[in-house]
Structure formats: C-alpha cells, structure tokens
Structure 1
Amino acid sequence: MSKRTAEELNGAAPLKGGERPDAMDIDEKPSEMGEFEDEFEDEYESEDEIIEAGVDGRPDAEREAEEAAAMEVDGATGPGTFILGRTKLDPGQTLAPDTTTYKMLHNLSTPWPCLSFDIVRDSLGDNRSVYPATMYTVAGTQADSAKASDNSIMVMKLSGLSKMDGGGDESSDDEDDDEDTDPILESKSIPLTSSTNRIRAHQTPSQDASRAPITLTATMTESSQVYIHDITPHLASFDTPGSMITPQQNKPLCTIRAHKTEGYGVDWSPLHPAGKLLTGDNDGKIFVTTRTDGGGFVTDDRPFLGHTGSIEEIQWSPSEASVFSSASSDGTIRVWDVRSKSRKPVISMQVSKYDVNVMSWSRKTTHLLASGADDGEWAVWDLRQWKPSGTSAAGKPTPIASFDYHKEQITSIEWHPTDDSIVAVAAGDNTVTLWDLAVELDDEESKDTAGVQDIPPQLLFVHYQNQAKELHWHPQIPGTLVATGEEFSVFRTISV
C-alpha cells in the first residue's frame, strides 16, 4: 500500500520468467548504491486526490458507507467498491498507505531493480521485538541488457528501521529504545557480467568453532552460469570500520557450467549444513552440486529429468534430507529422491493448466505445500494425499484450499516460518497479500460479508508493491516481511 502515481501504475507490466523491467532512475553518484525513501513526505500536500487503501483494499469507513448506500446490487461487489490490485485509478489519483495498519513500513530503492533476494540470518538474536530493527540481505541486480557490466550482487545492511509513529497496538509487547533514528542502507557490491534470475543464501559452520558461520550465496544468472560466492567478509565489513574488500574476495568460489540455458530454480538444503545445492533450468534439467570436505564444490553431471517445461522453482524438503520438489511451466509439481538411480520423479502431479511459477514447502507442517500459478490462483496441497507415479491411486489431487483472488500471475509465495496457517503471496497485480488459512466464517458472519463476494475471509492484508516479484519473511524478526519489485519494501502489519 505504498504511494505510487497513476501514471506509473498504468505503465507497469507484470514480470515473469526472463522478462526484464525498465531501468530505474539512477543517481549520478555511482557510489550511492541505494537509499531509503520518505514514504510520507511532501506528497501529502499534493493537489492530487489520495485514496486510503485499507487492509482489505476498501476505502475508509466514511467513503465505504457512502458507496454502500449507493449500491443497488444485492450480494455482489458494487461498481463503487475499491479493490486494491483490480480497481484502476483515475488520472490524478494516487495511493497512500493507511499508516494505522502498519507497525513498520520502509521503502528503499537501488540503482537497478533487484528481482530476487534472500535474507541472511545474523547474530543479533531470534524473536527480536526491539525497534529500531537491523537486518541483512543479499540481492542480485537486473541491469538493462545494454549495460550488463553494471550488474552485481548487492550485500546489504538495513538499520534504523523504526516503528511507525502511532502504528500498531499500544498493548503490544514490542520494545522500543525510544531513539529518534533514520533508516540507513549500507551495501557492498560483487561485480557480475550478467543479470540475476534467482539468488539464495546458505550458512555453513566455520572450521573454527569460535568464528561466525560462513555465508554462501548461489546466483543463477541470465547467462546460464551459476556462481557460488562467500560473502562472509562483506557482511563482516559493515561492523568493522575501515575494512576493505579485496578483488580476490569478490571472485566466486565456484562457477557451475552444467546448464545450457538460463533458469530460475535454486535452493540450498537446510539439512546439509556443509552445503548441497539444487539448480534447475529452462530445459527442464535439474543438477545437484555438493560441497566437499575440502571446501570445494562438485556438480553431478547426470541431470534429473521428467518435466516437459522449464523449471520455475525448486525446494528441498524441510524434513527429509534426500527429497526435493520442483514446479514447472508444464503445470506439474514433481517430488524426487536424490538417491534414485533412474533420476526420475517419485511423484508427478498436474496441479494447474497453467505455468506453476512458485511454491513453498511449510517448515512448520512439512506435509503442506503451497503453489502459485500463471492464472493468479494459488493453492495448498497435503502431500500425504499424493500417491507415487504409476500407482492406481495416482491422479489429479484436490487442494485442501485454493484462492483465485489475484487476477495476474503469482510471482512469489512463502509460508510464515512459525505459523502454519499464515501465507504471504506476491502477484503481478502489484500487490502482496497476507492470508490466514485458519479463518472460517459462520453463517452470521457470511451475511455480513455478502456485499463483497470477491474478498475471501481468509485475506488478512493487502500491501501495494509495484511490479511485485519476490518476498520473504524475516526468520528472526517475527511478522516482518521484505518484498521486492520496482523497489524494496520492509514492513510489518498489525494483523500478523
């Protein structure tokens, strides 16, 4: 629900697969890698009409009452109802966030769009509730094709992330150190010669038990090559005044050249601390790369084959070290076992008639898997109901929940790390939505919501994100989301 002009909105097209966004306005000072934007500065004094978009995309109470009185349609969404992500703004209209619905909200821009990123765990503690907050992330840029040499991996420290003035519940347990701070973005760049399709971070124990873990990144690029970097010194440099990054520290530890086409599937195994990496490409091939005892990397040149379309997403099982799943543009999700000599999937399920762009394996309840497709529908599956390929019980499964609220492709989906009923979804309709699958309406409540049939009761919150592409929950700051698209948003709502 950040502020964007109607002119910018109308010019934004959904992003998918290998499509690249237009270049962003770049500051003439190349050394300034990014900056926070004041979300609430002088724009409030503009003569443009401002629409307040609430948690479910509807206007404020007064306008809602006026529109409800004007509606003549019984039991349907009336023409006057504003639904974020669907209703088009008139010329001169802008969106402004309802600040009372956020505990924290910060936006930041980078020289080039970063359409894939990951959050790096830190040593500041788990279950943090102190403001201002600090976090570390890593992202890959998508520079204009004419300026491919401008691409880089950006290692970032975000600090001074304060709570909204007056935002949130006063009875909250959140702590505040009462410091009047401004948000700060610091970054270190690792040069790349190609734009990043997908980047993922992994931490592995240091050989010296007294030292911090080693942080590795795997970057799948448009060139088809996958680079593994050690960003440990880059992270350490933020908190070590005067430290410099050497050219040698910017070089990859390993370059994987097994893929002949670019791809989007990348995942580190959470159950192999030393480092075990999956990568999948547009040819439908999946390779496994393993870190050796000596610290090197070896890629098995025998691909896993079975998909008839591109690999859009790969994820290791959070509970079984040899199992992983993949989602494809062929509309299927397949489950594999790396111990299989045949390199064929154990289970193959047709879950959509459209491309399955993204999926998320629940870390809390590991038989639950969520998927999102090109038609805007996302669904939750119980893997216990899926039967091995070739058995008489195998066939098209029935999701335990599905939602078609979004009318553009799903671009990212992720389970809340500690609550198996909460799911965050990003879509090509420029929104990030939060869902509570535990919500069920009784008959009386259903009558109360009959006037807005297009709003599922499980929908908790709608956040505006132009060209929304990827999102992640912060694993150590409960309820906090980071999302990327045209710019980054860091936010926490009062509803989660």
Structure 2
Amino acid sequence: MAKRAAEPAGPAEGTPLKGGDRPMKDDEPGGAVDGGFEDEFEDEFESEDEIIEAGVDGRPDDEREAEEAEMRDAMDVDQDTFIPGRHKLSAGETLSPDSSAYEMLHNLSATWPCLSLDVLRDHLGDNRTFYPATLYAVAGTQAARGRESENELLVMKLSNLSRTERDDEDDEDDNDDESSDADEAAEPVLETKSIPLTTTTNRIRAHQVPPDSSSNSSSDAPPPTLTASMTEAGSVLIHDVTPHLRSLSVPGATVSPAHNKPLCTVRAHKGVEGYALDWAPPSLHAPGRLLTGDGRGLIYGTTRTPGGGFVTDTTPFAGHEASVEEIQWSPNEASVFASGGADGTVRVWDARAKGRRPALSVRASADDVNVLSWSRLTTHLLASGHDDGEWAVWDLRQWKPSSAAAPPPPPSRPSPVASFRFHRDQITALEWHPLDDSIVLVAAGDSTLTLWDLAVELDDDESRDTAGVRDVPPQLLFVHYMEGVKEGHWHPQVPGAVVATGGSGFG
C-alpha cells in the first residue's frame, strides 16, 4: 500500500562494479622487465592468461555476470516503483500494504463515510510506544442524500490496536488452539457513542482543557472535551462529549438523552455552508474561544462565558472575496489567527484590531487554499495546501503588513520557503508533526496520505543516484494509499501514529 521512495541499488555512475586489480603489462612500472630480478615465488602464482580467463576479479565469468544482472534488475525495479496517485493499476490489480513499512496498521469501516475527524488527548500518558495501543477520536458522518436524518457525531474509543506482524516473523505455533486465541486477542476493538444529527458534518474540531498536573485520574478517558461541528446546513453545533468519553472507559457510566443536545448552536452564518473552524489554544486564551468561517468570506468569533454559555460576536472579520476554507489560530500569539480562502489568499488577522480587517494578505495560489497548518515548534512557519495539488511553506517574517491608514493593496505572491507539486489532486489535509518541526503530513484527493521531511537536502552524489526515480522529491518519506482519504492527524501522545478518515472508513 505504501513504501518509502526508492533508493536505487548499485554504485555511482563511472564506478566499476567490482574493484579487482588489473594485471600489469611487462612495460608498466612495477612489471617484469628484461634483466630484472628473478621472482623466487613465481611458481606459486597463476599465469597472467589464467587470471584473465577467470575474470578481472578472479571469479568465473558466469558468476560475475549473474551478479551484475541481478543488480541491474534491482535498479530497474527501484526506478519503476509503483507510486499511488501517480501510476494506475492494471485491470485486476490491487494494492496491498508492505507490512515491513508499518509499525502499526489498522483499517476500520463505518456505516457512513466521515469527512472529518479529530484525535483526542487522554490520561494514558505521553510518548507511548507500547502495544496494543488505545486512542480516542471524534468524527462526523456524511450520510447519503435523502438519508440526512441518519447522520451522527461519533465519539470513538479504538483499543487493542496491535503491532503489525512482519512478513519475516515466524508465526507458527504448535498449539492450534493457542494460535487461534492469540489471533482473536489481536483483533482491534472499536467502541462508539453516537449523537444523532440531521445534517452532514463538514469539519469537526475538539477543544480540551489540559488537566491539572496535580490531579490523578482513575480513568484513561480524555479530559473534559467540547466539539464544534461545522455543518452542511450552515450552523455550528457545540457539544460537550465528556459524558460519552467517560461511558467508554468508566464501568457503569451512562449517557442520558440530555447529553446529546448541543450546548450551543451558532446561527451567525445564516444558513450559509462553511468548512473553516478552529478552537483557540487554551494555554493562550480563556477556555472556549472559537472561530468559524463561511461561504460568504465572513469569519465569526464565539466565546464561552463564565457561566458556561456561549456568545457570538455580531461583527464578523471580513476580507476574503470568496469562501473561507480554513482557519488556524497562532500557537504563540493570543490575538492572531490565519485564514485561507477560495480566493487563493492567506490572510493573517489581529483580533484586537478595529475594523476587523486582515493585517497581512498574500496570494498563495491561483486556486483555492483548502487547508493551513501553523507549526507549533517554529511559529513563524505556516503551511498551505491548494486545490491544484500544490502545498507550500511560508516564512511569515517575510510578509509585509498593510498600512493601517490605507486599505490593503491587492495581494501579491511572495516566494515560499518550499513548495511541492507531487500530488495530482486537491490537498485535503495538512499538519505539522507536533514534536518535529521538519515533518509534515499531507492528504490529497488522489487517495494518498504522504509524510515529508523538509530537513532533507541532497548533495551532488545523492542527486545523481536518485535521478532515475522520476518526479519524486527527496523530501518525500512515505506514501500511504487510502481510498478517498479526506483528513489525517498526528496522535499527540503516540509518536509517529497518524489517524485518518475517508470514503473507505478510518485508518
């Protein structure tokens, strides 16, 4: 299903396959000459003719030629590596995962596809590397037309996620019963709690207040958790899913019908569909600050009150000339956020500014800007994913602010720090690694989810060696095939783990 980018086998161009010494002629320095000294060991060596017959490295010609042919075949395979999203399968062909490429791989199906999900923090600890793994997530469904009443918000616990068995591991067991029991125990478990909805969820995001470090939880359940769902009907639903999470982890805990009702329904968008929403980091803000954007290009702010209710500002942030597709709060500036739109621009805002106009406006693409991701570790870096399959990384320090006394000029396109056009369809998800500021996750409409390492730079020798692998950037680490993938997120507590959703379910 996915393999690392090919690394052609064999030596660099111009280097002999074997390094055996060439026999010297009589007239070369070091060779025998008339009147030279007699070699007292002459009888112990083969003649020059015999060495040549055996090949330049002293082996029979057929053995050496067989090895050279094997190396050429290996290079041909590397150069012709099947890349999902770039190459097409022949009739009757299917892709299967290479188990050696995955530490863990599981696929789970749902009744209806989910366009969006979010991964939750829990009380099981950080930097977890033990198996079987457990994780929590929330997702919203996309039921078929005419069956919108079957939509739901899913609160999920996935447990018993075992480590991937390697193809070269010996899994034979003399006791068939014990082997069957082990196989049954290795089956992953999906437990869900459902909140009925009557409309499709375009995007869902969770908000969790980090628990007090001095508190000890007797449950592995996540801390108090709110979700915001941007719906196809143009409203935003805010739910408290804490009771649902507790019921998945605490024996005897139940969910009442009252727990399924939203705490708040944001109607400021007046029925206009939207996709963009983001909760502000609780470390920088009072808990419960939410931004949502719609198809008119307007962004509204909603804030939780001390009494537990919510209030939405009546004056929106206005600046985009088309639909707002994405919003990202700054990870280190309490009043700053960025937005991307179908007008091809990325705009940076200061929520304190009068007039609610963008402080920075940059044309990032000739097509829609679908997704953004703000690096949590190097906070002047912002990544954007576009409708034409390109994604780019921007250094915000290079963007020039607009004058407060004059309207902002038409957006221009500065040079990105890096840009890539590997994907052949729209970018649908983009996220920096939470612990490594050079690793980026990208999902696209070509049914691939890729991992990238922006720290990779090739020297001249490496560039020559990889020249046969066409159209594959050296920064590309990994390609995973997932039919209809829409969104993917790093797990914040399980290093290297990614959770994704798409038309084929969850992965």
TM bracket (short chain): 0.7 to 0.9
1:94-493 map, 5 Å: 94-166=94-166, 180-204=185-209, 213-260=223-270, 261-270=272-281, 271-390=284-403, 395-490=412-507
What is the letter of the counterpart of residue 55 of structure 1?
R
Whether contact under 8 Å (2:368, 2:387) holds in the other structure is yes
Whether contact under 8 Å (2:342, 2:370) holds in the other structure is yes
The alpha-carbon deviation at position 214 of structure 1 amounts to: 1.8
Distance 1:84 1:168 in 2: 25
Distance 1:86 1:444 in 2: 26
**Which stretch has the larger CA shift, 287-296 or 83-92?**
83-92
Whether contact under 8 Å (2:343, 2:367) holds in the other structure is yes
Distance 1:269 1:362 in 2: 15
Report percent identity of matched pairs.
61
Partner in structure 2 of residue 55 of structure 1 = 4
The 1:369/1:89 distance shift into structure 2, 3 A limit, reads same
Whether contact under 8 Å (1:482, 1:488) holds in the other structure is no
Distance 1:442 1:59 in 2: 16
The alpha-carbon deviation at position 63 of structure 1 amounts to: 11
Whether contact under 8 Å (1:59, 1:82) holds in the other structure is no
The alpha-carbon deviation at position 56 of structure 1 amounts to: 2.5
Whether contact under 8 Å (2:390, 2:422) holds in the other structure is yes
Whether contact under 8 Å (1:114, 1:141) holds in the other structure is yes
Whether contact under 8 Å (1:134, 1:158) holds in the other structure is yes
What is the letter of the counterpart of residue 428 of structure 1?
G
Distance 1:328 1:57 in 2: 36
Distance 1:60 1:153 in 2: 49
Partner in structure 1 of residue 19 of structure 2 = none
The 1:480/1:210 distance shift into structure 2, 3 A limit, reads closer
The alpha-carbon deviation at position 115 of structure 1 amounts to: 1.1
Distance 2:426 2:265 in 1: 32
Distance 1:255 1:123 in 2: 29
Secondary structure at 1:469 match in 2:
strand
What is the letter of the counterpart of residue 276 of structure 2?
G
What is the letter of the counterpart of residue 297 of structure 1?
F
**If you compute each CA radius of gyration, which structure gives the higher value, 1 or 2?**
2
The alpha-carbon deviation at position 272 of structure 1 amounts to: 2.0
Distance 2:376 2:310 in 1: 27
Partner in structure 2 of residue 93 of structure 1 = 93
Partner in structure 2 of residue 48 of structure 1 = none
Secondary structure at 1:236 match in 2:
helix
Secondary structure at 1:156 match in 2:
strand
Distance 1:168 1:345 in 2: 56
Distance 2:297 2:235 in 1: 15
**Which stretch has the larger CA shift, 207-216 or 272-281?**
207-216
Whether contact under 8 Å (2:377, 2:437) holds in the other structure is yes
The 1:346/1:276 distance shift into structure 2, 3 A limit, reads same
The alpha-carbon deviation at position 461 of structure 1 amounts to: 0.3
What is the letter of the counterpart of residue 371 of structure 1?
S
In terms of fraction of residues, the more strand-rich structure is: 1
Secondary structure at 1:159 match in 2:
strand
Whether contact under 8 Å (2:122, 2:223) holds in the other structure is no
Distance 2:6 2:483 in 1: 15
Secondary structure at 2:355 match in 1:
coil
The alpha-carbon deviation at position 206 of structure 1 amounts to: 8.1
The alpha-carbon deviation at position 376 of structure 1 amounts to: 0.5
The alpha-carbon deviation at position 340 of structure 1 amounts to: 1.1
Per-residue CA distance 1:205-236 (angstroms, 9 max, x = gap): 68997777421000010000101000000000
Distance 1:200 1:254 in 2: 15
Per-residue CA distance 1:351-393 (angstroms, 9 max, x = gap): 1111111110000111000111011010000011111124899
The 1:205/1:445 distance shift into structure 2, 3 A limit, reads closer
The 1:59/1:457 distance shift into structure 2, 3 A limit, reads closer
Whether contact under 8 Å (2:7, 2:466) holds in the other structure is no
Whether contact under 8 Å (2:139, 2:153) holds in the other structure is yes
Secondary structure at 1:235 match in 2:
helix
The alpha-carbon deviation at position 410 of structure 1 amounts to: 0.5
Distance 1:380 1:118 in 2: 23
What is the letter of the counterpart of residue 430 of structure 1?
S
**Which stretch has the larger CA shift, 269-278 or 134-143?**
269-278
The 1:181/1:356 distance shift into structure 2, 3 A limit, reads same
The alpha-carbon deviation at position 66 of structure 1 amounts to: 3.9
Structure 2 residue ranges without an equivalent (≥5)? 11-68, 170-181
Distance 1:116 1:408 in 2: 18
Distance 2:357 2:100 in 1: 51
Structure 1 residue ranges without an equivalent (≥5)? 2-52, 71-76, 170-177, 491-496
Give the TM-score normalised by the residue count of structure 1. Answer: 0.81
Give the TM-score normalised by the residue count of structure 2. Answer: 0.79
The 1:104/1:167 distance shift into structure 2, 3 A limit, reads farther
What is the letter of the counterpart of residue 375 of structure 2?
S
